[in-house]
Chain A
Amino acid sequence: MSEWTGRPAERSAEDDYLDGNALAGPLSEVFAIDITAALGTCGTCGDRRAVAEAHLYVNAPAKILRCPSCGGVLLRLDERGGRVILDLSGFTQLTIEVR
């Protein structure tokens, strides 16, 4: 993953997830913004954090981003056959810095 993002995506020793920074590569093809810097509010527990701090599970049929506080699913990124399906329904809101 780190070769896409240009910065190390830290791997947890305990469980097989990456930090949310690893979303920067695949989502740079979709958004002009860096979504990993966005502040996301979890729809399950209301916790508000940078997307980069969430836990990204990549060894799955689709990439799943989970809230580090409650484990709820925040985002699903499904790349299949030249299409990207992005499910953001786990966030109640995303706050994105624009210039």
Chain B
Amino acid sequence: MGIVSSGFQGRRKRDLPGVPPGQYVTEDFPVLSAGPTPRIERDDWVFSLRTESGTGRHWDWNVFMSLPQEDVTADLHCVTSWSKLGTHWRGVPVDAVLNGVDTQAEFALFYSYGGYTTNLPLSDVLGGRAWLVHEFDGADLPPEHGGPVRLLVPHLYLWKSAKWVRGVELIPQDRPGFWESRGYHLHGDPWREERYG
């Protein structure tokens, strides 16, 4: 192969390292939504945790903001095949919310305002791989991108990063959420193209 073939326009964006198979890179941030956008004031926002034994915890906005905060830079991969690289977020690692919780559960079902749900193995949201984020690009997370708080699980397809998140239930057996019960993969790893169930 020649060094530069005629018509060579640079590497195709989908072949970039860091971009999973079947994805293309976009600079904008498309807003995907399968329902109305809930408008939740921070003063009204509460995050709830329930374990398989029925015990629970709640965080209102002020208590939530007193938890450890982290800045996160992450690539996003949407199952509709766009990827957005190097996005900046700030929020609470899921580890901090589950710290000290007594559970044997292996799965988590996250709940959102508006009724959305998504299921994840606990191992995918612990160990510094998932956050409850409230800032995007240094500003408060707007409602169309899931504010006041969304889940961010950047190593899985973006439907797992539930917008308008309001709680998590720890469950012994995996239970499909909104998209997972409608033909989408239970796990959703973009590198394995786990799109459809």
Contacts and interface: CB of A to CB of B under 8 A. Distances in A.
10 contacts: A57-B35, A59-B31, A59-B32, A60-B34, A61-B32, A62-B182, A71-B36, A71-B115, A78-B182, A85-B183
Given A15-B36, A85-B183, A87-B182, A61 B31 contact: no
A83 to B, nearest CB: 11
Contacts of A66: 35
Interface centre among B31, B35, B159, B183 (most CB of A within 10 A): B35
Contacts of A80: 196
A64 B115 CA distance: 14
A16 interface: yes
B79 interface: yes
Interface of B: 30-37, 79-80, 115, 159, 179, 182-184, 196
Interface size band for A: 10 to 19
Nearest to B114: A71
B182 A16 contact: no
B79 A61 contact: yes
Interface of A: 15-17, 55, 57, 59-62, 64, 66, 71, 76, 78, 80, 85, 87
A62 B184 CA distance: 10
Nearest to A17: B36
Nearest to A63: B34
Contacts of B34: 57, 60-62, 64
A15 B38 CA distance: 10
A64 B79 contact: no
A63 to B, nearest CB: 9
Contacts of B31: 16, 59
B181 to A, nearest CB: 10
B5 to A, nearest CB: 30
Contacts of A85: 183
B33 A57 contact: yes
Q: Which residue, B32, B115, B182, has most C-beta atoms of chain A within 10 A?
A: B182
B33 A16 contact: yes
A16 to B, nearest CB: 6
B183 A78 contact: yes
A60 B33 contact: yes
A85 B183 CA distance: 9
A68 to B, nearest CB: 11
B33 A61 contact: no
A60 B183 contact: no
A76 B196 CA distance: 14
B159 A59 contact: no
A12 B79 CA distance: 25
Contacts of A55: 36
A78 B181 CA distance: 13
Contacts of A17: 36
